Each structure stands twice: as C-alpha cells, then as structure tokens.
Structure 1
C-alpha cells in the first residue's frame, strides 16, 4: 500500500476536511482529493461519507485511521530513539508504575526533572497491570517486585514496608490503639483483598482482619487509602514512602509492619543507550537517595 496515500488519508481524517489537510500538507485540494479517491479504488471501499459540513469516516475508514494512527506513533517513537543518540534529552518517555507510587511519590517530584530537561515529554501510565516492556507498551517501569520478563535491564531502587497510619484528628477523637486487639474498635482503611496489590500488603491486611474489625473502608489503590486517612476516616494500611510528603500522618502500632517490598526500575535492553532513559533513571536514583536521607533524619529508617 502506498505510504504517501496513507499519510494523506490520515491528514484528511484528522482534519475532517480536504482543504485543511491540503493546507497542512502543502497540497492543493484537488491533489488531496485525487489521492483519496485512488486509495479508495485500490481498497475497493469508501473511506469517507461526504457532507456539506465536512468529511466523516466510514466504518472501514475508522479501521484504517486506527492503523495509520498506530503507525505514526511507532514512527514518532522510532524517530525519538534515533535522535536519542544526540546529547540533548528530549522527546516522549512512557513511564509505567502503580497508581499509589506514581501519584504519591513520583509525580510530586517530576517538576525537578522537567526543570532540568524542559523538552522531555513524559507519558505517565498509572495502573496495577504489569505492562509488557519488550513489546514496547512502555519505555520504563517502576514496579513493586522484580520483573520476570526477559531482555530487561533491571535495577533495585529501594525497599518499602506497609505500616499503619492515622491523622492526629482521628486519634484525638477515637483514641490510639495500643494492641492489635484494640483495632477492633477502629475503622480499617486498606486495599480490598481481591484487588491487585503486593503480597506483603495483602498479608498484613489479612492478619488485621482476624481481629474482628467491625468497620472497614476498602479502596483499590493507595492514593485513595491516603485520602481517606487524611480525611480522618480511620487507620490506614499505607506504604512507608508517604511519610516524607505527609509528615502529619501518625504511625500507629509502630511494632507492626509488613515484610520488605522491593522496588525495581526496568527497561528494555534495546534502550540501553537511550539518553531519555538514563536521565530518568539517574533522576529517580537521586530522588531516592534524598528520600532515604530525609527519612533517616526523621528517624523513620
């Protein structure tokens, strides 16, 4: 299939107008129309419904537009990787991590990265599902366990633990539990045991549930758990990395915590030379070093 015709088709579909597409492509309206007509003839189908107010894609046109959109994204990604051989750090970097870590720890620190590399474009994908890095669903991942996929460069960044936290206002009103048995008098805020989460956090929640806790609030990510805690709703199971940015949270039952949860950064072997990856990796490592130093000064590690 002729790539020039596909490129022109994509521009027309995106603009919804032969005239506007021609302007962006520096072609006459008649030249654009001829190319679209030729493409339709070669496919033996109609790609656009023609209306007085513009062009609307047919079902077949929608299918082709999805394909050309995917092709252009891959070309843009390839172009960015080729240009990565230059000294500047710029272009798109697709980062995936969990909702909790991404929203509570990573996102608040990104202004420092953008300040250093203003031409970097980060696509931050927050979800519990593990994206396939070798298949390029993302460029770099920060996960709460060591990646099992092959052909990945992986680096252990730190370890975290799940602990219990509450707001001072909640504890002033409801009292501070002194023993695990006291948790039966309090509302527990945690991730639902059926939701995707690290095994250490799940084990801690399951242990707490054995103490006849009468009231619970379950959320499917730690961001929601934190919001409930700082809204004085109860005692929450949260990762310890939240303490630096939310110092008002009070640790409850300080002798109780989960096992260690390793945090790994990973990216495909083929991106070993990427300057965008290197810039992001170095930034995260520097922030984690500063994070550890601050927690140590607070007596939290």
Structure 2
C-alpha cells in the first residue's frame, strides 16, 4: 500500500473520530447548560387534572372536545400513563359540556402542560347537512394536583355552619349541617351541603377550598414565570391557539413549533401526540438556554 493511501485512510478515520467527539462535546455542553437552568415549576409532578371544554363553535366544539379526550387516552396507553374520569357532562349530541380526567404517570405535568390551550378544528360537523366545512375550537386545561407539602393555614380559614337549602328531607333542612369555608387572605369561598353530618361537609369544604387556593397560587406563579422569561408561545393559557386539526387537508399544524404532520387517523389514535410534545419541549429548552446566555 502506498504511503499516500495510508495517509488518506488515517485522515478519514481521524475526521470520523473528530466528528463523534464534537457531537459528544455539543451534547455535554447542552446537558451542562440544562443543569444550570432554573427547573420548571411542578416539573416533577406525576399527577395532573386535565379538563376538556367546548370553545367557539357550539355543538361541534363540544364533539371535538370529546374527540380530544379520546385522543389523549390513546396517547396515555402508548406512554403508560393512567387516567380516570373525575367528571363528565354531555350535551344532547353526546359532546362534552365539560370533562375532567385525573392523569398519573412519570413527569405527567411536564409532558402535558404544553397541551393546554385552544385546539382548533376544521371539518364537516356530524350535524352539518350540506357538507360545509366549519371551524371551531375546544379548550384543554392542564393543572398539577395539589402537592402534599402545600399547606393552607387553618387560622386563615373561616367556617360558618347553616341549615342546608333545597330538597333533601327533614334532617337536612332542620340541622346546621351545611358548611361554608372562606379563605380570608384571598376571599375564596366554598359552600358544601352534600352530607348529613357537619364534620363531613367541613372536611369536604376544606379540601375543595385548599384546591381553589392552590389553583390561584399556581396561576400567579405561572404568570410571573411568563413575565420573567417572556415566553409567549404555549403559556398554558386557554386563549392560546396551539394547534389546528384540518380534516379536509388531513393536516395537523402546531402553531408554536411550526411542525406540520399528515395523517388525522394516526393523530386521533394518539400516535403523533408524543412527537408534537417533544418538538415543543426542544423548542422551549432552546429558548430558555438562549435567554440564559444573554
């Protein structure tokens, strides 16, 4: 073998090794920067409440809210999340007036928070008789479960007991079993009269009030986060239009990342959800790194 050929082969080997080292260096730099970034609030939360609501579009938006719930249930099956229905209210067409799920899984909040917002749909509704395309939207809201270490000071809660109102029998209406719990610092209040016993109504009112106080705290934390970081895309606000599902074009467009996919059946089967979430998380991580380095 000629010396020139040996030199050429050695150079190719060195270039390949150098390319691998540079790729490893870049990955390590990104991992190191990621460790320096402030953790996202509630990133390690494994349980969330996911709510589906109709937006603009009447009965069609309610039907699409139901489709979204079923889509995410398919996605949960792919990733090993568990879910159960907390509340489900339907309209005359079978669509959702409201539906809430309790979802649990490894870093469930971190994976699902970016799905909060308005999901727009363009399709011919089941109720459309002339085959015309309609545009409507459904709302997805993702909230972390109240952490075990979140405490509402008992001294900040005012309890009032009164007779239950409405139908319910002689006992319910003639004893002071109903309970109103008010959080004095925020003015938030809960009235419960579900149970015959005062103590049970008090326990339930306290639990629900704690959730309401935490939700307000959570919204304040997230609002401050978005102000500080100036992240305008995918803040979790229900007014954010995050994605459009165009059935006529068989196209799904994510407005935050610019990712476009084709295959509505696969989307509704939950197959594309993880890909869209990963693209958003990658975009957000890059934005946070850029802001950190400024």
Question: TM-score, normalised to structure 2's length?
Answer: 0.20
